[in-house]
């Protein structure tokens, strides 16, 4: 543990996830940097000397990254050729590499139980890049379910008509749990592993709409047929190897907290 934290930690592309990951990593004793293509405007939550300008498409910016750092890569590593060229500029003795992907890598038209043994869709450029980095560079790939939390409120998605009222399965995870899991992967995952990351409870949108109507008085639109039934994700590997204890195991309690904070802020 001490050896791991002797190296800097760089959050590449510190967008929504970075807003929660950066302060958590600092609190856990990591010497943490965050990057953005516009660090002045997008990294106001990061102390000035920890903000780095980085743009994968601009090779001059690559010099900003400490060559021995651990990397948590938060955006698609595309184009793959450019991403590989960047990684090769770092020290051969660089730190660990964590890549954040998406469970959309697992394409299926059946509501089967999806885990790390389920084949990924290699027709997707992002998946091609993640798998190449995993197999050739030992990257740990975290394939994330739908993120929610402050600023990404499921109830607002329903209010704004961004999600249809169907029986389609959806898998979600609170952003604060994602931040914790990123650090757990740094410390506990083996090089080249992949993990399905969700709260472990597949739900149908129709259930969420029903609870939203009963608990928060939200109107329910007409039920429609989904284009596909969605997926059900298994997190057995995540809980066994990374031993994560969820901060937000109950979706509806978490939504209630976000809703109360949102109302208080609007007053």
Question: Which CATH number is 4-148+172-199+232-247 given?
Answer: 3.40.50.720
| Residue 117: per-residue pLDDT | 95
Q: How far apart are CA 267 and CA 265, in angstroms?
A: 6
| Residue 16: per-residue pLDDT | 98
| Residue 220: per-residue pLDDT | 84
| Residue 3: per-residue pLDDT | 87
| Residue 137: per-residue pLDDT | 96
Q: How far apart are CA 50 and CA 83, in angstroms?
A: 22
The residue written with tokens 């750092």 in the block is: 69
| Residue 178: per-residue pLDDT | 98
pLDDT tens track for 25-45 = 999 999 999 999 999 999 999
How many other C-beta atoms are found inside a 10 Å radius of the C-beta of residue 267?
Answer: 4
| Residue 107: per-residue pLDDT | 85
| Residue 1: per-residue pLDDT | 46
Q: Is the distance from CB of 37 to CB of 99 less than 8 angstroms?
A: no
Q: Is 106 left (phi over 0), alpha (psi -120 to 50) or beta?
A: beta
Q: Which residues pair with 233 in a beta bridge?
A: 114
Low-confidence ranges of the chain (pLDDT < 70): 1-2, 109
Say what the pTM is.
0.96
Residue 66 backbone phi and psi in degrees, to 5: -55, 130
Domain spans, the chain: 4-148+172-199+232-247
CB contact set of 108 (below 8 Å; sequence gap of 6+): 114, 118, 231
| Residue 266: per-residue pLDDT | 83
Q: Is the distance from CB of 18 to CB of 11 less than 8 angstroms?
A: yes
Q: Is the distance from CB of 17 to CB of 179 less than 8 angstroms?
A: yes
Q: Is the distance from CB of 198 to CB of 251 less than 8 angstroms?
A: no
């Amino acid at each position: 543990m001490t050896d791991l934290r002797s190296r800097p930690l760089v959050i590449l592309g510190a967008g929504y996830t970075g807003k929660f990951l950066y302060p958590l990593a600092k609190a856990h004793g990591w010497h943490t940097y965050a990057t953005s293509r516009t660090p002045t405007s997008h990294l106001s939550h990061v102390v000035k000397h920890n903000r780095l300008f980085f743009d994968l498409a601009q090779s001059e910016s690559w010099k900003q990254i400490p060559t021995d750092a651990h990397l948590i890569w938060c955006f698609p590593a595309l184009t793959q050729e450019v991403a590989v060229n960047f990684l090769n500029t770092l020290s051969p003795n660089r730190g660990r590499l964590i890549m954040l992907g998406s469970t959309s890598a697992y394409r299926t038209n059946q509501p089967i139980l999806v885990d790390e043994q389920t084949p990924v869709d290699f027709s997707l450029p992002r998946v091609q890049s993640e798998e190449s980095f995993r197999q050739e560079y030992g990257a740990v790939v975290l394939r994330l379910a739908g993120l929610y939390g402050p600023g990404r409120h499921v109830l607002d998605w329903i209010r704004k008509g961004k999600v249809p009222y169907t029986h389609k399965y959806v898998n979600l995870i609170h952003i604060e749990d994602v931040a914790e899991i990123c650090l757990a992967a740094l410390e506990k995952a083996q090089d080249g592993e992949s993990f399905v990351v969700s709260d472990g409870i597949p739900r149908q949108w129709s259930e969420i709409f029903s609870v939203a109507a009963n608990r928060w008085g939200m109107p329910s639109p007409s039920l429609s047929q989904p284009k596909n039934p969605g997926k059900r994700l298994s997190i057995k590997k995540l809980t066994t190897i990374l031993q994560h204890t969820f901060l937000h195991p109950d979706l509806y309690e978490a939504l209630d907290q976000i809703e109360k904070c949102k109302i208080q802020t609007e007053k």
